[in-house]
A and B are shown apart, each in its own frame.
Chain A
Amino acid sequence: AQRVTQPEKLLSVFKGAPVELKCNYSYSGSPELFWYVQYSRQRLQLLLRHISRESIKGFTADLNKGETSFHLKKPFAQEEDSAMYYCALVSSGGYQKVTFGIGTKLQVIP
C-alpha cells in the first residue's frame, strides 16, 4: 500500500528563518512525488514536482529514495509563504492512484 506521512500538522518559523516541511512515503515502485500548496481562500495548486527538479518561489524538494523522503525546503521564509502544504504521491503504471499527506500548515511569524 502506498502511504504519505507529513509528521507536523503545524510548523511555525520566523520570517527569514529556514523552512523544512517533511514528507516521507511508502511505495514499492517508482513514485511520482509532488508538493501542492493552498493559500488562504485559494484553490489547491501545484508547487513542485520531483521530475522537474525546479525551484519555485524559492522552494526546492529532493527525492531521496534511500530515506523515502521528499522534504520541501526554503532557505529564508517569507510571510507570503504562510499556507497549507500537501505532499502527494502518484503511483506508476496505467491504473493510477494518488495519495496525499495530511498536510502541514506553515505559519511564518513576522
Chain B
Amino acid sequence: ETGVTQSPTHLIKTRGQQVTLRCSSQSGHNTVSWYQQALGQGPQFIFQYYREEENGRGNFPPRFSGLQFPNYSSELNVNALELDDSALYLCASSSVGLAGNEQFFGPGTRLTVL
C-alpha cells in the first residue's frame, strides 16, 4: 500500500507569485483534503475534494484553489502569494469523505514567501 506523498518538500517564493503544490493520495482513497499549518498552530482546513469536486471548504479566500484528478491525485494552487501564506501545507486522503473516516496525512510541503 502506497502512502500519501507530496511534492515539493520545500519551496521558496516571493510575494505576488503563484504556487502549485501536489499530492498523491493513498491507494484506494477517493477523497483528499488540504490544510495549512502555521508555526505553533494546528492544521487549518483549506478544502476537501471528493470525486473531482470541492466537497467542503474552510475560511480561505478564493486565491486558494484546488483540483482533483481522475486518479485522485490533487493540486493546491495559491495565487498572489502573501507573506502570511508561509506555512506547512498538508495533504490528507481518506475513503468516502471525512465523517467517521481516518485521514492519512502526507509529510507536507514547507512554503516560504519572501
Interface size bucket, A side? 20 to 34
Instruction: Check B57–A44 contact: CB distance below 8 A.
Output: no
Instruction: Check B42–A97 contact: CB distance below 8 A.
Output: no
Instruction: Check B42–A100 contact: CB distance below 8 A.
Output: yes
Q: Interface residues of B, CB < 8 Å — how many? A: 25
Instruction: Check A99–B100 contact: CB distance below 8 A.
Output: no
Instruction: Check B43–A86 contact: CB distance below 8 A.
Output: yes
Shortest beta-carbon distance, B61 to chain A, in Å?
Answer: 16
**Residue from B33, B40, B100, B104 within 8 A of A98 (CB atoms):** B33
B70-114 contacts to A (CB < 8 Å): 90, 92, 97-100, 102-107
In this complex, what residue of B is CB-closest to A46? B102
Instruction: Check B106–A96 contact: CB distance below 8 A.
Output: no
A60-110 contacts to B (CB < 8 Å): 86, 90-92, 94-103
Across-interface contacts of B92 in A (CB, < 8 A): 44
Instruction: Check A98–B98 contact: CB distance below 8 A.
Output: yes
Instruction: Check B42–A101 contact: CB distance below 8 A.
Output: yes
Which residues of A pack against B, CB within 8 Å?
4, 6, 32, 43-46, 49, 51, 86, 90-92, 94-103
